[in-house]
Structure 1
């Protein structure tokens, strides 16, 4: 995010550019909460335990980047709501990947944790990386072709 250290806005690496936009923990947790249906500033603040000025700053940046949109509350009240844009909804795989990694490496086998389930079958959601032909691959099966 701009204004906080080195910018990778013009980097040749897509990961570096992405981290510039959503790479801090608060932005990722705001996006997670937006996927969970949390839309109001006060609800986000209560859920995250985040200072108002930091939350306001992150929300402004996420709106400026086209990840969230701010609009009038759907209940007709004077409040505003933040909702994911199509661009923001495309971050679902990122959130699933972080969740899956955390489930695998940060919890004991029987430790209670939230679960991400599909609506139709209530089965756990999993992410699988594939190549363009749809074949599953791992990091050993991929490489980065550098620009320069």
Structure 2
């Protein structure tokens, strides 16, 4: 009788682990989310690569209508201080360290983009759980 009970409990445990692991886990791959419309002439995007459920690479940036990257903007083309080349790498590191949208720390001097990366990361996470590597377009909050 004890053997039967032990086998039954083991079977239930195994089935529950399989059920929990399937639908909510992150699938390996690169997932991208971007805003549908530009904000202040820039369209922000976030690409995140996962391997074994862990973030291995993050690319956050924005493009203007000519395809120029915000991370490459100069003081002449981007009138705010600090320059994006200073805070974008830190924001990318914060995404990688946090691992999830609700834990991403903001970067001083980049309040708007810090909020944007959280929104885009939430969309990336949804795509990664579904294993959908198509670029997802996110409605602008403005």
Please state which band the TM-score falls in when normalised by the shorter chain: under 0.3
- When Rg is computed on C-alpha atoms for both structures, the one with the higher figure is 2
**TM-score between the two structures when normalised by the length of structure 2:** 0.27
Give 1 or 2: higher strand fraction. 2
TM-score by length of 1: 0.26
